[in-house]
Amino acid sequence: MKEERSLSLLQLMVNEGLVPSLEEEENRKTVIEKLKQIVVAWVKRVAWQRRLPKQDIAVTSATLLTYGSYGLGVHGSESDIDALCVGPYFATMNLDILNPVFLRDIDETGWKSLSRVLANTQICRLVPDLKKFQSMLRCVKFWAKRRGVYGNLNGFLGGIHLAILAAFVCQCDPFVGLSALISHFFKKFAFWPWPRPVELQDETLHPTLNPTETRLYMPIRLPFSSYEYCHSNITKSTFYKIRTEFLRGHNLTKDLLKFDFDWHNVLEPFPYTKKYAWFLKIFLSASKQDELGDWVGWIKSRFCCLLFKLEEVQGLCDPNPAEYIDVNIADPHVIF
């Protein structure tokens, strides 16, 4: 029956469009390959413009590294591709970014750019079963979006947070099926003694306690560093909401063998209009779509400041990460 629960969950993810088709996969691979060709051609052109010797131009190269949901293999039909172009002035091989030689003299900007790629690479290396991990993470991200606890800008969990939490459960329970992993995920973090940090098991690292980061509500250590933690905007309100949703997930999945168990109950969208009576609506509009994008990005970057101010006044607030549009309004706009 546990195996049946896992199969039904996999089928649900396919039905919800969380798993891209083979045609979409090939299209993404083609796009990435074309981008790599463009990057290499650009680097060789720069080498020629700088009048390097022909033999140096011949071996000049660069590469493109993917990260985020695509890099972890958990992207959906609508997902974008996060990619990073890597190369000092002139790279002479495809780069092994885990080689400490390449990271020795890197500046802060370069380190920040590479950190997501490093995190993805390490997570994929450390999980005992990559396919099982990918299926689990797809489901966990879908759950977080449905229940309104996904989105770092809104003070919730981002993709990297969920990836590390899912990988941690996979390391703790390497031999159980998908449905059991989801159940263990909810149980593990519903009762986790926060702010105790979550850290992936890695024999090559010796974690050190960072007092600044452990003042976070939910510290989650990056898997390539002994002391760095995931950037987090979690507030008192959003921490409470996340813990509540972990507990709800645990209560619904603690007995997977119940005859009336249904994954749709676990993944039911959060009922904002039934739960709350008061709402704050933020309406943004612009005369052009391009201008709206910049405007929305600027406002989103300040959401956390608004959350803190609302908490001072209201005590608790629950930001809805979803974006809406009003079909009766012609100008480009977005509503939060």
pLDDT of residue 92: 46
pLDDT category at 314 given cuts 50, 70, 90 is: confident
Rounded average pLDDT over 281-286: 94
pLDDT of residue 207: 64
Which residue, 251, 243, 266, is CA-closest to 5? 266
pLDDT category at 46 given cuts 50, 70, 90 is: confident
pLDDT of residue 145: 96
Q: What's the whole-model pTM score?
A: 0.82
pLDDT category at 318 given cuts 50, 70, 90 is: very high
pLDDT of residue 328: 93
pLDDT category at 228 given cuts 50, 70, 90 is: confident
Which residue, 32, 117, 33, 122, is CA-closest to 81? 32
Residue 231 has pLDDT above 50, yes or no: yes
Rounded average pLDDT over 265-274: 96
Using one digit for the tens of pLDDT, what is the confidence trace for 300-309?
A: 989 989 999 9
pLDDT of residue 88: 52
Rounded average pLDDT over 190-216: 80
Q: How many CA atoms lie within 13 A of 218 on its CB side?
A: 26
Q: Are 159 and 141 in contact (CB under 8 A)?
A: yes
pLDDT of residue 210: 61
Query: Residue 89, SS3?
Result: strand
**Residue 37 C-alpha from the chain's centroid:** 27
pLDDT of residue 209: 63
Q: How far apart are CA 85 and CA 43, in angstroms?
A: 11
pLDDT of residue 245: 98
Using one digit for the tens of pLDDT, what is the confidence trace for 75-116?
A: 888 788 999 888 655 554 475 666 666 667 777 777 777 788
pLDDT of residue 102: 64
Nearest 5°: the CA angle 213, 106, 110 is 70
Task: Give how far Cα 198 sits from Cα of 188, 192, 223, Å.
Answer: 11, 9, 10
**Tokens representing residue 267 in the block:** 């993944």
Task: Give how far Cα 219 sits from Cα of 161, 162, 214, Å.
Answer: 9, 12, 6
Q: Is the dihedral of CA 46, 48, 53, 59 positive or negative?
A: positive
Radius of gyration in angstroms for the set of CA atoms belonging to the chain, rounded to a whole number: 22
pLDDT of residue 269: 96
pLDDT of residue 93: 44
- The residue extents of the domains of the chain are 1-270, 275-335
The architecture in CATH of the region 1-270 reads Orthogonal Bundle (1.10)
**Tokens representing residue 11 in the block:** 């089928």
Any idea which of 207-211, 237-241, 304-308 has the lowest mean pLDDT?
207-211
Residue 311 has pLDDT above 80, yes or no: yes
Residue 7 has pLDDT above 50, yes or no: yes
Residue 34 has pLDDT above 80, yes or no: yes
Nearest 5°: the CA angle 299, 300, 306 is 80
In sequence order, what E strands does 81-150 have? Answer: 82-91
Rounded average pLDDT over 65-71: 90
pLDDT of residue 90: 55
